Structure 1
Amino acid sequence: MTEQRGGRRKPVVDESCVLVDGPWQHRFVGANGSRFHVVEAGTGPLVLFLHGFPEFWWAWHEMLPAVADAGFRAVAVDLRGYGASDKPPRGYDGYTLAADIAGLIRGLGERTATVVGTGSGGMIGWTTAAFHPKLVRRLVVLGAPHPLRLRAALFSDPRGQFTASTPMLKFQIPRYEHTLTRDNAALVGEYLHRWGGQDWVSSTSFDSYAARCREAMQIPQAAFCAMEGYRWAFRSVLRLHGYRFVRLMQQPLITPTLQLHGAIDEASLPRTAQGSGRYVSAPYEWRLLDGVGHFPHVEAPDLVLGEILRWTKS
């Protein structure tokens, strides 16, 4: 499929690019008024995987078969606005994104799930556990400080976390999504390279992984939707619904939580993430991963898999 641009025909990426074959099944599940693309393998207690930015469900393709083989129902989802899931123009606030995951757990026919989220998916994991605690049996977050830790660091650490969050500040610029998709979504590859650990970005697997993420971000409306969550996060700071969000997130989390964080994460700084445990009243563990950046699930998949299974089975 192509579209006309300045007399030249440019290929148009469609959602079929994320329907990758493998030892899993693709299907669509209705939740919270939208349709979500999910990829699943295995049977047993549900482990629901949430990708981050600038990824899609493929972030977990190495984990799904291994978690399924361990006796679980492993499901990775394209979050609202990503991949083959619906891309409505609204609904990227913290409340709605958490309600998406709660609805998805129910839509999958389950009563509870272990939720595993990385990056922005980890932030959604925090909020889902806070707003829908009965549905989240256990929580694993990677590269994601508690939302209130991040909020505080943006103000208290201007040379650290505020500077690290500069790319997200640029998302506030109207129509910046066109910059994100320009030149075959080259900026997506730059983000992955900038935030990933050196061992991973210099490996043979990096280029193919980045190519898939770049292609998925070029699906129509995906880049706009990916930015909307960050736009809400920053704009809500001085708005009433933002104050309400903070008040709700201050309630102690009753979900057992494992937090894994890369020691060289330059997107969410380790010093920002440390201290998130103060918001958890249930059992909580923190582990800093040496030599790992913002994408532990692909930089150190064996280590992360072992930790996920240990926490899920305990």
Structure 2
Amino acid sequence: MSTSEPPLPEAPGFTHLFVETPGLRSHVATVGDGEPVVLLHGFPQHWWQWHAIAPVLAGRGYRVLCPDLRGAGWTTADDPRIERETRLTDLLGVLDALEVGRAHFVAHDMGAITAVQLAYGHPERVRTLVQLSVPPVFMSFSPKLMSGMRHMPGLIWHRPGRSLAGLFSAGYVARPMPAETLATHLAPLARPEIDGAVRRLYRGMVLPVSTQFARGVFSKQRLRPPTLAVFGRKDHPYDEGLVRRLCGDSAKYAERFELAFIDDAAHFITDDAPDAVAELALDWFDRAEPAR
């Protein structure tokens, strides 16, 4: 691992794998043994986002897999293009290579796009899903949600070399993030391949999926895996009253769906409240699929 640039951050107990699939060398951090749980990071983060959460899940008897998705962390790709389902295809290849047929999934922010695509397109691969800080894709669209997209123009037109530290500013975190933590999240952006992927991710994946959401494409499909959507109570505009109203009668769209809200947490919920996220996930695994 000493040859990785920049060096992989410290995270006791983790093992690091590099999984080769066609055109892609995926970095996967793993911890624990047992039934698999796959944690999909958000933006602009990577596997280390889960360094405080994955060991808690592993301590309850799970094998936890934390891949760096294309365009993030220490994963490298032959082809720089990123389209709407590129990361989904990548994830399926990694799961097959690691012989993970079915797993629990916990996903934050941009990682939830891939998790949701998997849940709708390949529900047999998903035992349960916990999605963090993103609205359910069957939820009705409202102009009140637009303020939650205020960061997007700058990322669609991201200039290489421009710092993304502002994404962790007040309004996105419940309390100031330590400088060392911020530097660790942003370290891979020193690689031109990762910095250059910012615009490709937003133009090729986030915008097309956001358009699908706004057009109600997913409300015409059925979400089959048991899904828990979690928000921080300081994550505006996703206040509880608005989210519950826009979700309406979720039974019309999902086999089993619940909402949960965590106090003193904002968008970067895994940094603000890692223990609460871990306990909600473990509880959902047990309640949503008790006879595993």
Task: Judge conservation of contact 2:9–2:48 (CA < 8 Å) in 1.
Answer: no
The normalised TM-score by structure 2 is 0.84
Task: Judge conservation of contact 2:37–2:105 (CA < 8 Å) in 1.
Answer: yes
2:127 aligned with 1:190: no
List per-residue Cα deviations over 1:225-258 (Å, max 9, x = no partner).
133222124653899xx69x96467311100011
Task: Judge conservation of contact 2:11–2:51 (CA < 8 Å) in 1.
Answer: no
Superposition deviation, residue 273 in structure 1: 4.9
Please give the alpha-carbon distance, in whole angstroms, between the structure 2 residues aligned to 1:263 and 1:207. Answer: 24
- Change in Cα spacing, 1:71 to 1:166, as seen in structure 2 (3 Å) is same
- What residue in structure 1 maps to residue 74 of structure 2? 84
Partner of residue 264 from structure 2, selected from 291, 300, 303:
291
Please give the alpha-carbon distance, in whole angstroms, between the structure 2 residues aligned to 1:223 and 1:167. Answer: 16
Please give the alpha-carbon distance, in whole angstroms, between the structure 1 residues aligned to 2:239 and 2:45. Answer: 19
The normalised TM-score by structure 1 is 0.79
Partner of residue 163 from structure 1, selected from 147, 153, 159:
147
- Change in Cα spacing, 1:148 to 1:141, as seen in structure 2 (3 Å) is same
Please give the alpha-carbon distance, in whole angstroms, between the structure 1 residues aligned to 2:258 and 2:209. Answer: 29
Kindly provide the amino acid, as one letter, of the partner of residue 228 in structure 1: R
Greater CA drift, 93-102 or 53-62? 93-102
- What residue in structure 1 maps to residue 230 of structure 2? 260
The SS at the match of 1:227 is helix
Please give the alpha-carbon distance, in whole angstroms, between the structure 1 residues aligned to 2:124 and 2:209. Answer: 28
Please give the alpha-carbon distance, in whole angstroms, between the structure 2 residues aligned to 1:224 and 1:16. Answer: 16
- What residue in structure 1 maps to residue 191 of structure 2? 219
Q: Which runs of 5 or more structure 2 residues have no equivalent in the other structure? A: 288-292
- What residue in structure 2 maps to residue 281 of structure 1? 254
Please give the alpha-carbon distance, in whole angstroms, between the structure 1 residues aligned to 2:254 and 2:99. Answer: 28
Aligned length: 280
Identity of aligned residues (%): 25
- What residue in structure 1 maps to residue 201 of structure 2? 229
Between structures 1 and 2, the one with greater helix share: 1
Kindly provide the amino acid, as one letter, of the partner of residue 288 in structure 1: F
- Change in Cα spacing, 1:172 to 1:196, as seen in structure 2 (3 Å) is closer
Superposition deviation, residue 87 in structure 1: 3.8
Please give the alpha-carbon distance, in whole angstroms, between the structure 1 residues aligned to 2:122 and 2:29. Answer: 23
Please give the alpha-carbon distance, in whole angstroms, between the structure 1 residues aligned to 2:149 and 2:204. Answer: 14
2:40 aligned with 1:50: yes
Please give the alpha-carbon distance, in whole angstroms, between the structure 2 residues aligned to 1:69 and 1:286. Answer: 25
Partner of residue 34 from structure 1, selected from 24, 30, 33:
24
Task: Judge conservation of contact 2:9–2:184 (CA < 8 Å) in 1.
Answer: no
Superposition deviation, residue 81 in structure 1: 1.0
Superposition CA RMSD, Å? 2.8
Superposition deviation, residue 162 in structure 1: 2.3
- Change in Cα spacing, 1:119 to 1:238, as seen in structure 2 (3 Å) is closer
Please give the alpha-carbon distance, in whole angstroms, between the structure 2 residues aligned to 1:216 and 1:83. Answer: 5
Kindly provide the amino acid, as one letter, of the partner of residue 197 in structure 1: V
Please give the alpha-carbon distance, in whole angstroms, between the structure 2 residues aligned to 1:303 and 1:237. Answer: 28
